[in-house]
Amino acid sequence: MISPVLLDVAAPGIAAIGAGLAAVGAGIGIGMIGKGSVEAVARQPEAINDIRSLMLLTAALVEGVALFAVIIALLKAN
């Protein structure tokens, strides 16, 4: 199929595309978290402190998953 030489030279580029896909996933995930938390605060403004800490916790977990993919991209980007 594609020769091994071409694949080896293109490996950092493909790794960068993979990292970009991870960024898309993180963006969508954290955007949905933001949407849910803003709507929840609009419904019940007195719960804003609980909602804020829940939002930060969930955002950090989603970002952790996206960063797993960034690590793989870094490993292949030599």
- Nearest alpha carbon to residue 30 among 54, 65, 62: 62
Convert residues 37-66 into a mask of x (bound to another protein by CB under 8 A) and - (unbound).
----------------x--xx--xx-xxx-
Residue from 5, 40, 47, 48 touching another protein (CB under 8 A): that is 5
d(CA 37, CA 43): 10
d(CA 12, CA 2): 16
Count of residues engaged in binding another protein, rule: CB under 8 A: 21
Q: Is 75 helix (H, G, I), strand (E, B) or coil?
A: helix
Q: For another protein, which is the closer residue by CB, 43 or 68?
A: 68
Tokens 């609009």 correspond to what residue?
A: 42
Which parts of this chain interact with another protein (CB under 8 A)?
A: 4-5, 8-9, 53, 56-57, 60-61, 63-65, 67-72, 74-76
